[in-house]
Chain A
């Protein structure tokens, strides 16, 4: 069985008068069903690696395969299309669209992809909301929710197109420990029950300990 994501020799150097190396020769892979925690000091390159893995940034060197598909030669539109169906991002801040309701925010990626009918999209979104303990909140706008609720909506949005790969960058950074724990439980369930790979950056050692595997970053390098 293919790894959900497989990266080889990833290096990302920011060009400029003084080039900055964000990520150095990283080899990494994640299997279906796996919840991986990335930890490391601030500035060690965790976010940079996550953007590369999620096809949001292009590596200076090295290659990434998503479910066996090479991505190096794809153009920006093709990368966007692949992100749409295969990758779900969760950031430290929820980044929900303030003018849209919870339900609309979640259906947004599905509508962009155009995969389900309108009714099926709503049903699917309601299902995700129920999974994440958000039933009854669908008609609210993001500013009417608590921080933990917003982050769960953002997770629901990341799951909208049922991606095989979920990438989270300090998803609990702005949450209290109770809500943080809740989010990690959700991640674990997502990985184990549906064969997804969930990769999350966290500073929290207790939460990292809940994961199947932990990797560590130092100065752009990955240490297992």
Chain B
């Protein structure tokens, strides 16, 4: 009702400075929460995109989740059998019949499949020794399942097939070893095989650990180094729809029993870290907005206190308790809404400002500036929280106002 608005606005207008302060409070709260949300979600999305881009979506591994059932248990299914001191059996690990599995997996719609043997080796260059994970891959398949080819900064993936004993290393590792393109290094495996290898390519993903510790070579060479001919230790899948990775992984694991990891599972640590981080973010943002709503509580309570006579006369005139409550709720909401609108502007401006900042850091990923993610959702959430807290903040004083007993006030004034 317009009348309610007019009365509410007359109260607010008479208290310019206080209104300004509490509006500024809401504005700060909304503005900063938008900027913080853009920052956090920006870095998070960037990280997830990189993971989804660079890492396989599903990896079939040559392991089982559960240790194999002991033969004595199989023999006595109903008995309570305790087997102590179980140690891992030193069997020849590897996926059984890998190429048939690769072909079977290629049947999954939207999936590209590549086998790989992952083995730990030492790279020796000059006097330096570095332990790295060597991935033995089939370049023709690999180029379809990973971004490796796109991340090459020098040489090419296909050079693995043409040159003899080629390897592709990350730029981070190259820097560590001090090796350059076409440099010859020695690879030594745990099996004791050593081989001269030539750097035929370099890549850079921006994910620091990858760039420093993963190298690529032909599958055959890796099998020789590991002294495990024809063995594949993992099959990696890339999906057209990365979000389906969990289901695909479950289906594969159910089919063959091999431990099959989706990218979500492999990065569980990060994902739960993000959950915690988001929780902290929302808690902080809510705290800011709650503090801002104290300002609203303050102004509305003050007005109610100062205006008890007006409330009494309005009631004697025929305004009912609901009208009085509405007047003061409107006052809180007006401050909340104006604060929110200004806060949207501030948030937008802060994001623009942050986007201009340039710097270089190398933590988990390499970054050149703040990664910001813009979405109307941040604006909506901040606005909603502000509106809700403004309502709550003005609710108590508004209720108090609606309960003013006009008789007491008028008698007291006379």
Which residues of A line the B interface, CB within 8 A?
Answer: 47, 51, 54, 56-57, 76-77, 80-85, 87, 89, 91-93, 95, 97-100, 104, 108-109, 111-113, 157, 161, 169-170, 173
Closest 7 CB pairs of A and B: A84-B318, A80-B320, A99-B10, A95-B313, A83-B318, A77-B320, A111-B3
Q: Which residues of B contact A89 (CB under 8 A)?
A: 316-317
Contact between A169 and B414, CB atoms less than 8 A apart: yes
Q: Flag whether B176 is at the interface (Cβ < 8 A).
A: no
User: Number of B residues whose C-beta is below 8 Å from A?
Assistant: 28
Stretch from B103-111, B241-249, B404-412 contacting the other chain: B404-412
Q: Which residues of A contact B11 (CB under 8 A)?
A: 99
Q: State the CA gap A92–B410 with chains docked (Å).
A: 9
Q: Which residues of B contact A93 (CB under 8 A)?
A: 413-414
Q: Which residues of B contact A111 (CB under 8 A)?
A: 2-3
Contact between B10 and A54, CB atoms less than 8 A apart: no
Contact between B310 and A83, CB atoms less than 8 A apart: no
Please name the residue on chain A nearest to B414 by beta carbon. Answer: A92
Q: Which residues of B contact A80 (CB under 8 A)?
A: 315, 318-321
Contact between B317 and A108, CB atoms less than 8 A apart: yes
For this complex, 22 residue pairs linking A to B, each with C-beta atoms less than 8 Å apart, are: A47-B414, A51-B410, A76-B321, A80-B318, A80-B321, A82-B318, A83-B318, A84-B317, A85-B318, A87-B318, A89-B316, A91-B313, A91-B414, A95-B313, A95-B410, A99-B11, A99-B13, A109-B317, A112-B318, A113-B318, A161-B318, A170-B414
Measured CB to CB, the closest approach of chain B to A87, in angstroms, equals 8
Q: State the CA gap A93–B313 with chains docked (Å).
A: 11
Q: State the CA gap A161–B318 with chains docked (Å).
A: 11
Q: State the CA gap A14–B413 with chains docked (Å).
A: 19
Q: State the CA gap A85–B309 with chains docked (Å).
A: 21
Q: Flag whether B323 is at the interface (Cβ < 8 A).
A: yes
Q: Which residues of B contact A83 (CB under 8 A)?
A: 316-318
Please name the residue on chain A nearest to B12 by beta carbon. Answer: A99
Q: State the CA gap A118–B115 with chains docked (Å).
A: 82
Please name the residue on chain A nearest to B313 by beta carbon. Answer: A95
Contact between A112 and B407, CB atoms less than 8 A apart: no
Q: Which residues of A contact B410 (CB under 8 A)?
A: 51, 56, 91, 95, 169
Contact between B414 and A51, CB atoms less than 8 A apart: no
Contact between A97 and B10, CB atoms less than 8 A apart: yes
Q: State the CA gap A111–B319 with chains docked (Å).
A: 11
Which residues of B line the A interface, CB within 8 A?
Answer: 2-3, 6-7, 10-11, 13-14, 309-310, 312-323, 406-407, 410-411, 413-414
Q: State the CA gap A157–B316 with chains docked (Å).
A: 12
Contact between B310 and A97, CB atoms less than 8 A apart: yes
Q: Which residues of B contact A161 (CB under 8 A)?
A: 318
Q: Which of B7, B319, B406 interacts with A56 by CB under 8 Å?
A: B406
Q: State the CA gap A54–B309 with chains docked (Å).
A: 18
Contact between A112 and B317, CB atoms less than 8 A apart: yes
Q: Which of B10, B321, B407 interacts with A100 by CB under 8 Å?
A: B10
Contact between B414 and A57, CB atoms less than 8 A apart: no
Please name the residue on chain B nearest to A93 by beta carbon. Answer: B413
Measured CB to CB, the closest approach of chain B to A60, in angstroms, equals 13
Contact between B319 and A112, CB atoms less than 8 A apart: yes
Contact between A51 and B407, CB atoms less than 8 A apart: yes
**Contacts A91-B414, A100-B10 given: A57-B321 contact, CB under 8 Å?**
no
Q: State the CA gap A38–B2 with chains docked (Å).
A: 39
Q: State the CA gap A135–B411 with chains docked (Å).
A: 31
Measured CB to CB, the closest approach of chain B to A40, in angstroms, equals 15
Measured CB to CB, the closest approach of chain A to B207, in angstroms, equals 63
Contact between B321 and A77, CB atoms less than 8 A apart: yes
Q: State the CA gap A92–B319 with chains docked (Å).
A: 20
Q: Which residues of B contact A54 (CB under 8 A)?
A: 316
Q: Which of A57, A97, A113 interacts with B407 by CB under 8 Å?
A: A57
Please name the residue on chain B nearest to A86 by beta carbon. Answer: B318
Contact between B318 and A109, CB atoms less than 8 A apart: yes
Contact between B320 and A76, CB atoms less than 8 A apart: yes
Q: Which residues of B contact A169 (CB under 8 A)?
A: 410, 414
Measured CB to CB, the closest approach of chain A to B402, in angstroms, equals 10
Q: Which residues of A contact B319 (CB under 8 A)?
A: 80, 84, 112
Please name the residue on chain A nearest to B310 by beta carbon. Answer: A97
Contact between A99 and B14, CB atoms less than 8 A apart: yes
Q: State the CA gap A77–B3 with chains docked (Å).
A: 18
Q: State the CA gap A158–B315 with chains docked (Å).
A: 13
Please name the residue on chain B nearest to A118 by beta carbon. Answer: B2
Please name the residue on chain A nearest to B318 by beta carbon. Answer: A84
Apart from the given pairs A91-B413, A99-B13, A109-B317, 20 other A-B contacts in the complex at a CB distance below 8 Å: A47-B414, A76-B320, A80-B318, A81-B318, A83-B318, A84-B317, A84-B318, A85-B318, A91-B313, A92-B414, A95-B312, A95-B313, A95-B413, A99-B14, A104-B6, A111-B2, A112-B3, A112-B317, A112-B319, A112-B323
Please name the residue on chain A nearest to B315 by beta carbon. Answer: A80
Contact between A77 and B318, CB atoms less than 8 A apart: no
Q: Which residues of B contact A157 (CB under 8 A)?
A: 317
